[in-house]
Amino acid sequence: MFTIARKEVVETLRDGRFRALAILVLALSAASFAAGWRHYSDVQRQHLEAQEATRTQWLNQPAKNPHSAAHYGMYAFKPKSRLSLVDSGIDPYVGVAAWLEAHRQNEFRYRPAQDRTAIQRFGELTAAEAFLVVLPLFIVLASFTAFAGEREQGTLRQLLSLGVATRDLVAGKALGVAAALGLVIVPATIIGVAALAATTEFGGLRADVPRAAWLAVMYLIYFATIVAISLAVSAWARSPRTALVILLAFWFANSLIVTRAAADLAAWLHPTPSAIEFQTAMERELSNQEEMRVRLDRRREELMRRYNVSSMDAVPINFSGISLQEGEERANEVFDRHYGGLFERYESQNRAFQWAGLAAPMLPVRSLSMALAGTDFAHHREFVTAAEEYRRGIQRVMNDDIARNSKPGAAYTAGAALWAEVPEFRYELPGVSWAMRQAAPSVGLLLAWCVAACWLAARATRRLGVV
């Protein structure tokens, strides 16, 4: 078996095409790691500085009414996950900043993709792209001759007549391809690790190690799947030419066709509203004055009951603070309904998209790659929710202060002490187990593909036709 593997490796290494391809894949991954590293460092630095600056501006506000301060607000800037240098995922297509102000949940604005040229729509050359799209082609080209080639040359008959067990032959071939693959993957991984290690100015790597490790495992399962499929087709096809054409068609459908077709189909199944439709519907609900009046009356009654008085004048707190907060609470319900509904739509689309992974192993591994890199929609939503929670917290602190400390009719200002009561906005990427839970169906699909591919390879090689 090892003899076979060694023969495979030697043969592959002697092949000039293989050497050229290996160098190409390596160069591509090195370039993409370098570009990813630089982009990550630049953007992360800009965002951290900006987050600090917005905090300072908040703290340095002059004495003013707390509600003015709430209107002045702060900005939330989306931090980049470190592994985005492996897979930038949806990052270019979601906004980087949201204004956290009173009364309003603002969208995250400024998609980086809008500051780029049209050719980026051909796809970003990330390390993930090099691994998930280019490397499988490399596997296909390195293994399509495995059986079909020997069969055509008649050496397969020789081999089997020597009494080599089919199982050993298959394992040897697989091992040979894997070893050749390792010659590309290992250096690429070293470059990747070096790129990650060069980002320690943004904090320790510890939190990202499990994510990176799982990422590597998922990629390896994917490569194993492609190797198994290639060997199965090579064993089954009558000529190397047929094997190659089938495998190329599979590669193309897997890496390009199914993804796009599925994304459009998912959008077809779960349509999203247009921005104008979304805004109009939300404004309509927000401007419903009648509901607000009813709610304020209820609050007044509650207060009078709690302080056991018969008139609002006798209530020892300022109702304008209560009224502002009630407005926030009501608006929050509207935001939760509308933004929540929209995000659910996206999630339904993404789930439908995930199930299209039944047709192509690329889909589950791509979803997993983005999930582990922290650049998929679930992670984005998590951050948006955290920023919105923070905004609501600011409003609560400001409105409570108005209710407690100001007098109706009198001018009231608060100062630095109140601004400092609002804690700093800190966001930590959720743990790896959270990410894996979100992507659980993809893990299942990827494993299913791997098992099915291995079974196929075993079946196709069990009765190996020699001619």
Partner 1 sequence: MLATLLRHDWRSLSADASIWVVIGVFAAAIGYGTINGARWVAFQQDAISEARAEERERLERHETAIVRINRENATISAFADPRNPDAVGRSLGARYVVLPPTPLAPLAVGQSDLLPSYFKITTDARETVLAATEIENPHRLLTGRFDLAFVLIYLYPLLILALTYNLLSSEKEQGTLVLALSQPISLRTLVAAKVLLRFTVFLAAVVGLALLASLIIGVDLGAPGVLPRLAFWAAAVAGYGLFWFAAAVAVSALGKPSATNAMVLAGVWLALVVLVPSLLSMAATAIYPVPSRVEMIQATRVASDEANAEGSKLLAQYYEDHPELVTGDAQQAMNDFNLVRVAVAAEVERRVRPVLDRYSQQLTAQQQIVARARFLSPAILMQDALNDIAGTGAARHRAFVQQVEQYHERWRAHFVRLIFEKARLEDYSGLPRFAFEDEETGAVSRRVAGSLAGVAVPTVLLAVFAFVRLRRYPLVG
Residues touching partner 1, count (CB under 8 A): 85
Site for partner 1 (CB under 8 A): which residue of 257, 296, 359, 464?
257
Determine the Cα–Cα distance for residues 223 and 361; give it in Å rounded to an integer. 10
Smallest separation, CB 230 to partner 1 (Å): 14
Site for partner 1 (CB under 8 A): which residue of 1, 6, 11, 35?
35
β-bridge mates for residue 74, sequence order: 100
Determine the Cα–Cα distance for residues 299 and 366; give it in Å rounded to an integer. 50
Q: Is 53 in the site for partner 1 (CB under 8 A)?
A: yes
Smallest separation, CB 162 to partner 1 (Å): 26
Q: Is 116 in the site for partner 1 (CB under 8 A)?
A: yes
Q: In the 8-state DSSP scheme, what is residue 132?
A: I
Q: What track of x and - describes contact with partner 1 for positions 307 through 326 (by CB under 8 A)?
A: --------------------
Site for partner 1 (CB under 8 A): which residue of 1, 26, 50, 160?
50
- Give the residue from 222, 178, 245 showing the smallest Cα distance to 447: 222
Q: Where are the alpha helices (DSSP H) in 307-431?
A: 319-355, 362-373, 377-405, 416-421
Distance of alpha carbon 66 from the chain centroid: 38
CA distance to 47, 57, 74, 76, 101, per residue, from 54 (Å): 10, 5, 6, 8, 13
Site for partner 1 (CB under 8 A): which residue of 93, 302, 413, 420?
93
Smallest separation, CB 38 to partner 1 (Å): 7
Nearer to partner 1, 81 or 303 (CB): 81
Q: Is 119 in the site for partner 1 (CB under 8 A)?
A: yes
Site for partner 1 (CB under 8 A): which residue of 5, 83, 132, 133?
133
Angle, alpha carbons 250-251-254 (nearest 5°): 80
Smallest separation, CB 332 to partner 1 (Å): 20
Nearer to partner 1, 68 or 166 (CB): 68
Smallest separation, CB 106 to partner 1 (Å): 10
- Give the residue from 300, 290, 286, 297 showing the smallest Cα distance to 329: 286
Nearer to partner 1, 52 or 302 (CB): 52
* Helices and strands (DSSP H and E) totals, the chain: 19, 3
Residues 335-374, interacting with partner 1 (CB under 8 A): 342, 345-346, 349-350, 353
Coil, strand, or helix at residue 198?
coil
Give the sheet arrangement for strand 104-105, strand by strand.
74-77, 97-101, 104-105
Which residue type sits at 443? V
Q: Is 43 in the site for partner 1 (CB under 8 A)?
A: yes
Smallest separation, CB 11 to partner 1 (Å): 15
Smallest separation, CB 382 to partner 1 (Å): 14
Determine the Cα–Cα distance for residues 217 and 212; give it in Å rounded to an integer. 9
Q: Is 286 in the site for partner 1 (CB under 8 A)?
A: no
Q: Is 241 in the site for partner 1 (CB under 8 A)?
A: yes
Determine the Cα–Cα distance for residues 76 and 110; give it in Å rounded to an integer. 13
Q: Is 122 in the site for partner 1 (CB under 8 A)?
A: yes
Residues 59-78, interacting with partner 1 (CB under 8 A): 75, 77
Q: Is 459 in the site for partner 1 (CB under 8 A)?
A: no
Nearer to partner 1, 97 or 175 (CB): 97
Smallest separation, CB 251 to partner 1 (Å): 8
Q: What track of x and - describes contact with partner 1 for positions 370 through 409 (by CB under 8 A)?
A: ------xx--x-----------------------------
Determine the Cα–Cα distance for residues 178 and 362; give it in Å rounded to an integer. 19
Determine the Cα–Cα distance for residues 272 and 346; give it in Å rounded to an integer. 8
Q: Is 14 in the site for partner 1 (CB under 8 A)?
A: no
Tokens of residue 230, six digits: 């290639």
- Cβ atoms of 330 and 292 within 8 Å: the answer is yes
Q: Is 261 in the site for partner 1 (CB under 8 A)?
A: yes
Which residue type sits at 455? W
CA dihedral defined by 377, 380, 382, 383, rounded to 10 degrees? Answer: 180
β-bridge mates for residue 105, sequence order: 100
Residues 138-157, interacting with partner 1 (CB under 8 A): 141, 144-145
Tell me which stretch binds partner 1 (CB under 8 A): 177-185, 241-249, 321-329, 401-409.
Answer: 241-249
Q: Is 112 in the site for partner 1 (CB under 8 A)?
A: yes
